[in-house]
Amino acid sequence: MRPDGVANVVLAIIFIVLDTIAVALRIFAKRRIKRPLKSDDVWMVVALIFFYGWAALVIYSVIGVSGTLQITEIVDLVDLSFVTKLLFVASFFFPFTITPLKISILGFYRSVFPLEWFIRATYIVTTLCVLWLFSGFWTILFQCTPVRAVYDFSPAIQAKASCVKFGQFVFLTEILNSCLDVIILALPAFVVPSLHLSVRQRIQVMVVFLMGGFVLITCVLRMFYTYNPKNPKAVPSYSKGMMWSTIQLGIAIICGNLPLYRPLLPRSEVVYPTVTSFISSARGAFTKNAVTPTSKSSKRNDIHDIDDETQLTKGSRSTVSDEQSHVSYPLKAIPTESRYDVNSHQTV
């Protein structure tokens, strides 16, 4: 294997292991606090399965066929055609990994910020993500006419082939993908400032939600290695482009699971950026006007459930429950016979 081939295989194996652990810890964290799996967990598992497909095709292309992913260095025409076919199939796994991951993160947002306008915003962004997925799918599928011209380099096929400028296509796709990432990362910023938290706690909360910002860096690097403005049809380094695509997918899955790991950490009075009082503050602020006196108990239970699921500010201290802090004592009427006549006991 050539050095670039080794790098792609090693990265694929490393992120298979790391992403599997990341999703397993997510599920274990929920099981530990006896919380059921929800739709955001299912979408995360779907993203992991598609990443397995991507990584498997990368590994097989290097180990089983050519020893490299730099297609300009593959001399044998049969190997070149086969590797290109494998990578053509792998290119479908990229959007089908990223999109379920984004849907999972947006679903997690809805469970944390139960604001009506915020929930509508997450559904709008989800729709944009699905549109991005299908637009990318059809463009990848029909990037060449006929379709087999992508991987069939025979003169008869190439003579009548008409293909899009692949480097330019990847560049535009990543621009749209990066815009969606920025929107998803920015959504909590519209809610966190309105919470009843200190400046330090707000910063801690935003850091948790902005940890996915590293994915934007990998997007830029992927565009750098797959787009040449002077020759939009060519790909400067196909191998490095695949390598950074693997890193982008792997890091995105890890970052998408990090906010749910708080139940796995020891509870203490040490300042930890967790979700507990943050979620309580958020939930209380969002449901304050909707709660009636008869539903105080259910409201308290809802807050307790969400705190257990995601916990995010300081380790919370034990507090007095509503029943203990709002004890009511019945007032008895004073009988008229017990009235005290002040005038009858005056002293001279």
| pLDDT at position 234 over 80 | no
Residue 317: pLDDT band with limits 50, 70, 90? very low
Q: Which two tokens stand for residue 108?
A: 């997690």
Q: Which DSSP string corresponds to 75-114? A: --HHHHHHHHHHHHHHHHHHHHHHHHHHHHHHHHHHHH--
pLDDT beyond 70 at 304: no
Domain presence at residue 306: no
Q: Would residue 31 count as lying in a domain? A: yes
Whether 100 and 132 have beta carbons less than 8 Å apart is answered as no
Selected residue with higher pLDDT from 60 and 328: 60
- Inter-axis angle of helices 199-210 and 276-287, nearest 10: 100
Contact 109, 39 (CB under 8 A): no
- Give domain status of residue 259, yes or no: yes
Tally of helices (H runs) and strands (E runs) in the chain: 12, 2
Q: What is the mean pLDDT of residues 117-136?
A: 94
Which of 98, 80, 99, 72 has its CA nearest to residue 4? 72
Task: With a cut of 60, say whether residue 283 has pLDDT above it.
Answer: no
pTM: 0.74
Please check whether residue 208 is in contact with residue 258, taking contact to mean a CB–CB distance below 8 angstroms.
yes
Separation of CA 325 from chain center: 39
Give how many domains the chain has, as a whole number. 1
Q: How far apart are CA 167 and CA 181, in angstroms?
A: 21
Within a domain: residue 216?
yes
| Residue linked to tokens 């995010």 | 312
Assess if residue 270 is contained within a domain.
no
Which is nearest to 249 in space by CA: 24, 23, 97, 40? Answer: 97
Q: Specify the CATH number for the domain of residue 257.
A: 1.20.1070
Q: Considering the domain boundaries, does residue 273 fall inside one? A: no
Residue 87 belongs to some domain of the structure:
yes
95 pLDDT band, cuts 50/70/90, is: very high
Q: Percent of the chain, pLDDT > 90?
A: 27
309 located within any domain: no
pLDDT recorded at residue 139: 87
* CA–CA dist 111, 259 (Å, integer): 12
Neighbours of 40 (CB within 10 A): 20
E strand or H helix at 41: helix 39-60
The CA distances from residue 77 to 1, 73, 164, 309, in Å, are: 18, 11, 22, 54
Q: Which domain holds residue 208?
A: 3-264
